[in-house]
């Protein structure tokens, strides 16, 4: 199994364990994974903090605007 496959599998396990009811949030999280952003916690926090705006969240990742607080999931 390649490193990408392992990271995707781990990401999907975290996503399934979260049991997110919001379909759009679920789809956006999968989209970010498919773009190569494999840190579920950061992706989730970026989307939640940016009102599920995929473009803003990805822009922050691309511009390295990620803080330490993004590493812990807050509900």
Q: Kindly tell me if the per-residue pLDDT of 75 is higher than 60.
A: no
Q: How does pLDDT run across 15-54, given as a tens digit for each residue?
A: 999 999 999 999 999 999 999 999 999 999 999 999 999 9
Please give the mean pLDDT across all residues of the chain: 91
Distance (Å) of CA 6 to CA 10, 11, 12, 41, 52: 6, 9, 10, 16, 26
Domain limits at 56?
Answer: 3-71
Residues 68, 48: Cα–Cα separation, whole Å = 15
Two structure tokens written together for 48: 């939640």
What is the number of domains present in the chain? 1
When pLDDT is averaged across residues 1-15 and rounded to a whole number, the result is 96
């Amino acid at each position: 199994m390649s490193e990408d496959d392992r990271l995707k599998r781990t990401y999907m396990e975290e996503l399934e364990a979260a049991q997110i009811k919001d379909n759009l949030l679920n789809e956006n999280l999968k989209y970010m994974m498919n773009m190569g952003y494999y840190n579920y916690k950061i992706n989730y926090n970026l989307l939640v903090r940016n009102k599920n705006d995929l473009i803003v969240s990805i822009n922050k990742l691309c511009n390295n605007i990620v803080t330490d607080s993004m590493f812990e999931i807050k509900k």
